Structure 1
Amino acid sequence: MKQIELPPVWLAAFLAIAWAQSTYYPMGLSFGPVWADLLGGILVGAGLLLMLLAVVEFYKRKTTIIPRRESSAFVQSGIYRRTRNPIYLGDALVLAGLILRWDAVLSLPLIPIFIWVIEKRFIQGEEKHLRRTYRVQWATYERKVRRWL
């Protein structure tokens, strides 16, 4: 069950549910193809960009991107000046964007559920580790930078 403890696995599961709802249970509901495709594409692109910017910062600092692994640096630069969790925010944007593109109206509640799962399973533990490891730095950073936006 260790594989389920990776955020991309959770994202893939939520995406599979949304896709299945769109494909097999559309229920005659629709966002409307033109703006849903455009907005969905923008959200997916923004999510992927956030993830890329975050990965670059981890690479620069030579620390791990894998949750629950011991970090060798506390990343506060780049996109991390705007949000404490750009990769998870990116995941949520990708989920929202694909729900729009797939016209999966009934899957919209998956977005806040996904955010809740990610907070409970990953963010809270990561923040606890950072709080213990980088006490003063973390306290300052936590006051300055919001968890999501």
Structure 2
Amino acid sequence: MNAYRLKPLKYPWPPLLYGVAIVAALLLDRYVGLLPPLPREGYLLWTLGGVLALVALSLDIWAVKTLLECHTAVLPNRCAQRLVTNGPFRFTRNPIYLGYTLMTIAFGLLTGNSWFFVAAVSAAVVTTLVAIRCEEMHLLARFGIEFERYCQRTRRWI
């Protein structure tokens, strides 16, 4: 099959990866423990978690809205129709995955479960290896030098 038409992923893995990471954090906290819980006194961590959750949700909504406005694929297992470099894509090449990661961290702050921080980093690393690299090869095949220039001026994460 022509690389130009090749889909970036066979399945939309990242939401599943973050879902597994969240469930793992909950199970590890319940059955393994080991990591110290976050302090529960006061409202500072809860407030930070709430603000971070709002930022993450806003980032995801903004990114999806931008993709829809540009008439290109939102799901990572669909072919990109256009290279989107506006909206949140000006600041990060993966704003949706960044939003997932920030939301996972927010869950840790809201629940006091330190395993969510490990889960967020783990999910981000696995997402980079399993999904982002494939998506980037797809975009490189589709958009060539235009995608290379975008990569030079925009970071993969933050």
Runs of 4+ in 1 over 6 A off after TM superposition: none
Deviation at 1:68, TM superposition (A): 2.6
TM-score, with structure 2 as normaliser: 0.84
Q: What amino acid does structure 2 have at the position aligned with 1:89?
A: L
User: Equivalents in 2 of 1:18, 1:113: separation in Å?
Assistant: 11
Q: Please report how far the alpha carbon of residue 32 of structure 1 lies from its aligned counterpart in structure 2 after TM superposition.
A: 1.8
2:19 aligns with one of 2, 7, 12: 12
Show structure 2 runs of 5+ residues with no match: 1-8
Query: How many positions carry a matched residue from both structures?
Result: 148
Amino acid at match of 1:62: H
- Render the CA deviation track for 1:41-60: whole Å, top value 9, x for unaligned: 12211111110010011110
- Matched to 2:21, the amino acid is F
Map of 2:132 onto structure 1: 123
Instruction: State the match for 2:98 in structure 1.
Output: 89
Counterparts of 1:66-145 in structure 2 under 5 Å? Answer: 66-145=75-154
TM-score with structure 1 length normalisation?
Answer: 0.89
Structure 1 gaps of 5+ residues are none
Q: Which has the higher helix share?
A: 1
Counterparts in 2 of 1:139 and 1:110: CA distance versus 1, 3 Å: same
